[in-house]
Amino acid sequence: MTENTFPVYTADAIVNFYRTEVLTGQEAKHFTKSDLTPHPKPEAVQTLYMRVLHLLYRFRPECHSMVPLLENIQYPAYHEGATAIMSVYTRMQQFLPMCLVLDFSLNDLLAPKKQRTLTILSAIMNFLHFRKQRMEVVLEKQTKFRADMDRLQAYTKGIREAEKKIEMLTTIPPEQQAEADELAATLSELQATTMHEYQEVNAKNESITEWKATIAEKTQKLAQVKLDVSNLKEDISKLKSQIVESPEELKSQMEKMRENVKNIKNSIEETDERVVELQNMVQGVTHTEAEIQQMYSLLQDLESSMNNTKQRLEEHQELMAQYEKKQKELKNLCMEEGQLKRALGMKQDKECKQNIRRQKKREMKEQHVQEVLGQCDQIHQKREEMADKIQEISAETQKLKTSIKSLRDVCNKETEKAQVQVAPVCSLFIHSLRVTRSPSVSRLSMTHCPHPWMSSTRGLRCTPWT
């Protein structure tokens, strides 16, 4: 746990979080910073772990002491306390690898340490934060999925109702089949008659336009004739005053004029009769136009109903397409769910295998650590023994140094005494050598005294003979 993938929070932040998010009631009130620092209390730490397990797995704290044993023992009441602690330990060992704490041990429950406990609680706190965020995302997805399912159900219900309506509209009951056939036959006949009447109306309209043109021409001619008659009357009145009229000519002219008037009256009557006939024809045409308009409105209503049925059919097709699309999406979601479940099962199997491997590695590490600790204890004992020996040897060396110093002092004193005593003897020896006058001795220059008892004298030198 030297390199954590989660932040290690302070004791105040941990206490506030667990009091608000994990603990409830009196436990939250009585839980303080002193339960974690400077020396964590095992009871408080065990209560925290039990509440975390209850929050995550719904495993109540009182259930830890009611865990069934694998074997029948003689006095199970003696094992109640150890059973609860071992239950919490096993469940925390299963849970803490998800928080990336891989070295949880029994000492973390029985004799917790400050930094170790804060690290484990920080890991659990980080996991609870992550769990809260994931729960919010999952709840959003669940609400969205439920809304989609409700919408899908509403769509399917609407599609079924539309299908029923379309079936009701498209299917003709057997008792109305004859009427429907009759209506279809009459409709086809009406369409044929309307087409024929349209053609007749067009022909009559053309004839009416021709008659109107002829009537206009005849009215123009009549106006011209009236104008000519008025002009002739003026000419006659002028000529009467100038010409002496004979009765026979007047009679012939009057007869001619009467014939002309009769002809004009006859033509006028004929035109009036023709106008009446044309008016009757126009009334018939207007009546037929009204009937045709009614038929046209009926045809428009029929066309609108057909358009409505087409629209409903299109809506039905769209709803069927949406229904198929939703069915495909539902199948895809089911397939994704199956794939996710299989992936989750595979991941859980891998996680179980990894947990088993980690447990084995942890046991091997603990065994190795115990061996190393045993070797360290042996080395520590040997080190203490060596330290005792070194102290004894140093005491002996100190004693030897003091004895050597005292012996040196004694030797210095003895040498000084010996120098004082030997000085006259040396002078006598030198004098005897001078008396004998040995040539080999006269050439010898003695810088140091040859005798061993003269080696420690201070500044004493033997001078050569003169």
Q: CA Rg, the chain, in Å?
A: 69
pLDDT band for position 64 (cuts 50, 70, 90): low
Q: Where are the domains of the chain?
A: 1-172, 196-343
pLDDT band for position 152 (cuts 50, 70, 90): very high
- What is the model's pTM? 0.37
Of 168-182, 193-207, 417-431, the least confident: 417-431
Q: Are 79 and 73 in contact (CB under 8 A)?
A: yes
Angle at which helices 247-436 and 114-170 cross, to 10°? 160
Residue ranges of alpha helices (H) inside 96-113 are 107-110
Question: For 265-283, what is each residue's pLDDT tens digit?
Answer: 888 888 888 788 888 887 8
What is the distance between the alpha carbons of residues 463 and 86, in angstroms, rounded to a whole number?
99
Instruction: List CB contacts of 369: < 8 A, sequence separation 6 or more.
Output: none
Mean pLDDT of 331-342: 84
Say which residue, 265 or 455, is predicted with more confidence.
265
pLDDT at residue 254 in the model: 79
CATH architecture of residue range(s) 1-172: Orthogonal Bundle (1.10)
What is the distance between the alpha carbons of residues 114 and 42, in angstroms, rounded to a whole number?
11
Question: For 423-436, what is each residue's pLDDT tens digit?
Answer: 776 677 666 666 55
pLDDT at residue 453 in the model: 38
Q: Are 211 and 274 in contact (CB under 8 A)?
A: yes
For residue 271, what are its two tokens? Answer: 């035109």
Per DSSP, the three-state class of 447 is coil
ω into residue 424 within 30 of 0, thus cis? no
H or E segment at 417? helix 247-436
For residue 281, what are its two tokens? Answer: 């024809």
Q: What percent of the chain has pLDDT over 90?
A: 11
Instruction: List CB contacts of 105: < 8 A, sequence separation 6 or more.
Output: 366
For residue 416, what are its two tokens? Answer: 């000084």
Say which residue, 115 or 299, is predicted with more confidence.
115
pLDDT at residue 446 in the model: 41
Which of 183, 102, 122 has its CA nearest to residue 363?
A: 102
pLDDT at residue 70 in the model: 59
